[in-house]
Amino acid sequence: MLSKSLLVPERKRMLKPPFAWIDRRFLLQGFLAELSPPENLLYFFLVLAADRDGLSFYSYDKICQLLSLDVDAYIQARNDLIAKGLIAFDGRLFQVLALPSAVPRRTPPPVTGVRAASEAQSLAQIFAAMSQETSRANQSTHLGETPSSSTKVLAKHS
């Protein structure tokens, strides 16, 4: 077994009440990796703010101020933590819950708004270019020519 010794013994951490704790499974079983940065930030804040039963009652404006989160990011993170079974919230009081047996998987955000329009426009341009190249290739083939190299490149990327 690897021998460990303190790097700075005079600064050894001591657990003195009140103290906060995080189940090591949070790291070891992948909970940390599955949460978004705002979700992790809010979760760790709630762990630090909670009493021994996991309860805390900070208001959203104080949480947003302390964590430098805008209200939308806070609400999204809070709702996601609730949906993943990591916290409970009754509108006033938070409870950090015991970790579930399985890591809740992150779902990718839906593509909406400007991003969706941009992606749709990019796809439309790609398909239009492919269509033009296919038409040219078909015309060339009918004339006895070989397909252009750009058709081959587009085919490789499709």
Q: What is the CATH number of the domain that holds 62?
A: 1.10.10.10
Question: Does residue 117 form part of some domain?
Answer: yes
Q: How long a stretch of residues is the chain? A: 158
13-22, 30-39, 41-50, 127-136: segment of lowest average pLDDT? 127-136
Same domain assignment for residues 88 and 38:
yes
Same domain assignment for residues 85 and 137:
no
Same domain assignment for residues 52 and 79:
yes
Domain that holds residue 140: 113-157
Taking a C-beta distance cutoff of 8 angstroms, is the pair 56, 62 a contact? Answer: no
* Rounded-to-integer distance, Cα 116 and Cα 135, Å: 28
Same domain assignment for residues 82 and 120:
no
Question: Does residue 9 form part of some domain?
Answer: no
Q: Using one digit for the tens of pLDDT, what is the confidence trace for 90-132? A: 999 999 999 998 887 766 566 666 666 666 677 677 767 766 7
Domain boundary among 44, 65, 96: 96
Burial 100-122 (b: 16+ CB within 10 A, else e): eeebbeeeeeeeeeeeeeeeeee
State the pLDDT at residue 54.
Answer: 92
Domains: count for the chain: 2
Same domain assignment for residues 118 and 65:
no
Same domain assignment for residues 83 and 145:
no
Same domain assignment for residues 29 and 75:
yes
State the pLDDT at residue 149.
Answer: 46
Same domain assignment for residues 36 and 82:
yes
Q: Using one digit for the tens of pLDDT, what is the confidence trace for 26-37? A: 999 999 999 999
